[in-house]
Amino acid sequence: MEGSSVAGSQDGQIASPRRAPSQQRSRERVERMLAAASALIAEQGSDAMRMGEVAERAGVSIGSLYQFFADKRAIIWALAERYTAESQACIAAALAQVSDAEGLRRAFSELVDIYYGLFLAEPVMRDIWSGTQADKALRELELADSRANAEFLTAVLKRLRPAADPATLETTALLIWQMGEATMRLAISVGRKEGDDLVAAYKRIALRELLDQQAGPCNVG
């Protein structure tokens, strides 16, 4: 977010932070490193990605790699940050204009489709979010990302239902969002057809909840 394309890593203990590239030359090299890492993750998964291979493919030495990234996770983190920033902007744009129930229905449906497409199309994002995150820091980034995304949903709900309890709306939005991500993960790990069905079912369930917020269950006794 704040111009930090390079990160030190953390897992409770702080690893030595790294220099941010200040020259044009090194900025380009860092880009090549990230591109190489992205390609390797797409091919083999982040777990099988080797730092030496990243360096080789980027045309730099292993030492240069570690000049800008504190450790292996820092590279994955940097890539993840890019995706989250990108998708957050997309989500904010989709939900910003919503002012009524029908608008929410359309925007949410479209949003889910876009997200689903992203999951299907981006091997790197898929890998990073799909369980290869043996990493506390990454999980926390994911949680922060979920919260930020849910925030947009909360804002819409508050506009549509000003009388409702704000805390409840926040909980609902976070849950709906988290459920959506779980659905995506499930959907991409099963066949395409079953995945589509699952996403459609999620849409239905989520929309029912989002649009019918104030009512209790319908015909349950």
Residue 16 contacts DNA per CB under 7 A: yes
Residue 24 binds which of DNA, a second copy, none (CB < 5-8 A, kind-dependent): DNA
Residues 6+ apart with CB under 8 A from 159: 98, 99
* Greatest Cα pair distance in the chain: 69
Residue 64 binds which of DNA, a second copy, none (CB < 5-8 A, kind-dependent): DNA
Compare residues 49 and 153 and give the one whose CB is closer to DNA: 49
Q: Give the span between the Cα atoms of 120 and 98, in whole angstroms.
A: 26
Contact 37, 53 (CB under 8 A): no
Amino acid at 75: I
Compare residues 80 and 173 and give the one whose CB is closer to DNA: 80
Residue 186 binds which of a second copy, DNA, none (CB < 5-8 A, kind-dependent): a second copy
Torsion from C-alpha of 171, 174, 179, 181, nearest 10 degrees: -170
Q: Give which of 117, 114, 113, 145 is closest to 129, Cα–Cα.
A: 145
Residues in the site for a second copy, rule: CB under 8 A? Answer: 47, 101-102, 105, 130-135, 139, 143, 146, 167-168, 171-172, 174-175, 178-179, 181-183, 186, 189-190, 194, 197-198, 201-202, 204-205, 207-209, 211-212, 215, 217-221
Residue 15 contacts DNA per CB under 7 A: yes
Residue 105 binds which of a second copy, DNA, none (CB < 5-8 A, kind-dependent): a second copy
Of 68-87, binders to DNA (CB under 7 A) are 70-73
Q: Give which of 132, 135, 195, 148 is closest to 10, Cα–Cα.
A: 135
> Rounded to the nearest 5°, which phi and psi values hold at 56?
-60, -50
The minimum distance between CB 122 and DNA, in angstroms, equals 22
Amino acid at 94: A
The minimum distance between CB 6 and a second copy, in angstroms, equals 24
Question: Looking at 49, 76, 91, 187, which residue binds DNA (CB under 7 A)?
Answer: 49
Helix 101-121, helix 72-96: angle, nearest 10 = 150
Question: Looking at 37, 41, 60, 79, which residue binds DNA (CB under 7 A)?
Answer: 60
Which residues of the shown chain bind DNA in the complex (CB under 7 A)? 15-16, 19-26, 29, 49-52, 60-64, 66-67, 70-73
